[in-house]
Chains A and B, each alone.
Chain A
Amino acid sequence: MTSPARPSALSSADAAALASRFALRKLGARPRLGAYTRSIWQRRDFTWELARSDAYGKNQGSYLGQLWGILKPLLQVGVFYAVFGILIDGASRGVADFLSYLVIGTFLFEFIASGLNNGGRAIASKVKLVRALEFPRAVLPISVTLTEMIMMWPALVIMLVIVMAKGHRPTWSWLLLIPAVILIYMFVLGCGFFLARVVSATPDLGNLVPIITQLARFVAGVFFSLEVMAAKFGLLGQIAIYEPFALYLRLARSAVLAEVPAGWFEWALGAGYSIIALILGYIYFWLAEARYGRD
């Protein structure tokens, strides 16, 4: 290959030897899992700042600015209540306090859905950052899902205000909302890792994620009681009750509403889903670390 006039090159073996002699590190190589995890921990301030800035930026560029963080979920509840509480009678069957039930389901599912949609686009939407700075790419799915978490807080407060306005009094069990939200976050992040890699390799699949979350929205019992529906479908109904999305909504509702029961089994299953999703998603994402930002 090399003609006499072309600048000569070291053989690959010599280049590697020269590099190791002067302690140069190889760029673009995937680090070991432990070192990778540590490097993510070192960038925790960056991850948090990126998430916070993104959350802030999303509501900028309008007259009401950050007020939209509260207005959007409120308006959404209004729409859902009008449709599923008033227009369609049957939806509220089997639920004593349908508004509270609906509000918790809507807000938490919104977090799951936008976490998955944006998690899938985590690399693609920040490709400029990926090409400008060197940092462990797993920071991106983490910070994108954190952004959704930050944006969910005002909605959670509104949610509790509505629930109290309906006559529920705060009890210690409300604190269970915190582990419920953490489990949901872990699950969303695990799926986000998986989707971010898949979508960055095949952007076409990014268009399918909203379709899947749409399907989940309808089968997870966001605006109707799954227990009432599931009774008609036998085994399929049981699966629908214990699939992750429905289960997480149930855990969150059980913390606030006495009429929704959840025992140790449900909590353990929810924790299992979260841990498995997070570990598998993280490893799957890490395996392709050297390939992000190619197109």
Chain B
Amino acid sequence: MAGTDEIDFSLDEAAFAGIVRPKRQPAGVLGSAGSAELDQVGKAGIPTMVVDHVHVRYRVFGGRKLGASTGYKPSLYRRLFERATSSVGAVSEVHAVRGVSFVAHEGESIGIVGRNGAGKSTLLRAMAGLMPYSEGAVYARGQCALLGVNAALLTALTGERNIMLGGLALGLTRAEVRARFDSIVEFAGIGDFVRLPMNAYSSGMASRLRFAISTSKVPDILMIDEALSTGDAEFQRRSRDKILEVQELAGTVFLVSHSAKAVEAMCERALWLEKGELVMDGPAGAVLEAYREGRVPPPLEAETANQETTHD
């Protein structure tokens, strides 16, 4: 996709190009249409999201204090005391995302891969403006919609009420929600269940309804958090259509998954997150190949070894 000719990139062309592709590849000139390399990397164009050195830390209450288990056997008094106090003031801070930076563009679909606990979902929440970050900055265009398994509405209420509530929360008016009501129910494929409270739904039905509600207003940036793992083949096809719709309207799609397969099927660019850090950013094929083989770029390994602290 060319179409970037009118825009003056002079300020940050180099850095901007560098972020689209890993340094291993020679930085090409943006907007040089027809370059097969560029097409492979992603349809670099007008940025829709800039993520700048974002760190996310959050508190966890109620866990045991994180102390060193040194192996010595403490006295009885000490053991009793520690047992009594270990659940008092037990707050740990988790440093889930550590300085992630990248730029996303119009029409791109970006997969975020990484193992469980790599910080994928936390990063996505921070990118959607739903979880405060402690350092760095996130800039975005228009409205972000995050779809995730945990994005629950009020389960004690009927599907009807949830549709109204969700639509209003997205910033639609009552009339607009009513106008879209039938298409939401149809898209979710829940039929008469829409009149029952959501806690009577199967988990697949509930997540389909949430997906349908969240995408009833086409967002500029769509973020999907493992959402496609629920739902049958038919629904996955519809979801894919929705993703294409967002892309066609010059939006950006993010897909978080620990399944490389899902990312490969839907994304052209991939970010690989490991222990909260971005270790690789590039064309989906190359990143996923490295991810599958667990092949981390060499110089990084030495560096992570020095930073082997999960908790602060």
Contact = CB atoms under 8 A, between A and B. Distances in A.
Interface residues of A, number: 52
A10 B143 CA distance: 24
Interface in B137-151: 137-141, 143-144, 146, 148, 150-151
Interface stretch (A53-61, A96-104, A184-192): A53-61
Contacts of B139: 15-16, 18-19, 24-27
Interface string B47-59: 1111011000011
Given A1-B99, A24-B50, A60-B197, A12 B168 contact: no
A18 B161 contact: no
Interface string A3-34: 11111111110111111011111111000000
B160 to A, nearest CB: 10
Nearest to A52: B161
B146 A132 contact: yes
B171 interface: yes
**In terms of DSSP, what is the predominant structure of the interface of chain B?**
mixed
Interface in A35-94: 42-43, 45-46, 49-50, 53-54, 56-57, 60-61
Given A133-B130, A293-B131, A28 B170 contact: no
A49 B138 CA distance: 31
Interface size range on B against A: 35 or more
A286 to B, nearest CB: 15
Q: Counting chain B CB atoms within 10 Å of each CB, which of A15, A16, A56, A131 scores highest?
A: A15
Nearest to B126: A28
Contacts, number: 182
Nearest to A45: B168
Given A15-B101, A28-B132, A130-B130, A53 B138 contact: no
B201 interface: no
Contact of B132 (A25, A26, A294): A294
A90 B52 CA distance: 69
B266 interface: no
B191 interface: no
Q: Counting chain A CB atoms within 10 Å of each CB, which of B24, B47, B125 scores highest?
A: B47
B254 interface: no
A283 interface: no
Contacts of B279: 6
B156 A18 contact: no
B61 A27 contact: no
A135 interface: yes
Given A10-B103, A19-B50, A5 B131 contact: no
Interface stretch (B8-16, B31-39, B69-77): B8-16
A291 interface: yes
A5 B132 contact: no
B127 to A, nearest CB: 8
Given A10-B103, A128-B152, A291 B132 contact: yes
B26 interface: no
B101 A9 contact: yes
B298 interface: yes
Contact of B150 (A23, A43, A131, A135): A131
B174 interface: yes
A12 B131 CA distance: 20
B169 interface: yes
A5 B300 contact: yes
B263 interface: no
B195 interface: no
A293 B130 contact: yes
B152 A295 contact: no
Given A4-B23, A25-B139, A49-B164, A135 B152 contact: no
A126 B246 CA distance: 29
B156 A61 contact: yes
A27 B138 contact: yes
Interface in A124-147: 128-135
A295 B19 contact: no
Q: Counting chain B CB atoms within 10 Å of each CB, which of A1, A14, A17, A50 scores highest?
A: A14
Nearest to A126: B154
Given A7-B278, A24-B48, A293 B12 contact: no
Contacts of B144: 27, 134
B59 A295 contact: yes
Contact of B157 (A19, A56, A294): A56
Contact of A42 (B12, B47, B128, B171): B171
A203 interface: yes
Given A45-B173, A56-B157, A130-B130, 20 more contacts: A5-B297, A6-B299, A9-B19, A9-B53, A10-B50, A14-B12, A14-B15, A15-B50, A15-B137, A15-B139, A16-B137, A17-B11, A21-B11, A22-B141, A24-B139, A25-B140, A43-B169, A131-B131, A132-B150, A294-B59
A-B CB proximity, top 5 nearest: A5-B297, A19-B139, A9-B101, A27-B129, A132-B151
Interface of B: 11-12, 15-16, 18-19, 22-24, 46-50, 52-53, 58-61, 99, 101-103, 125-133, 136-141, 143-144, 146, 148, 150-154, 156-157, 161, 164-166, 168-171, 173-174, 197, 277-282, 297-300, 303
29 contacts: A3-B303, A5-B24, A6-B23, A6-B299, A7-B19, A7-B102, A8-B18, A10-B16, A10-B52, A10-B101, A10-B103, A15-B137, A15-B139, A16-B137, A22-B46, A23-B141, A24-B48, A26-B138, A26-B139, A28-B129, A43-B168, A45-B168, A53-B154, A128-B150, A134-B129, A293-B130, A294-B59, A294-B132, A295-B60
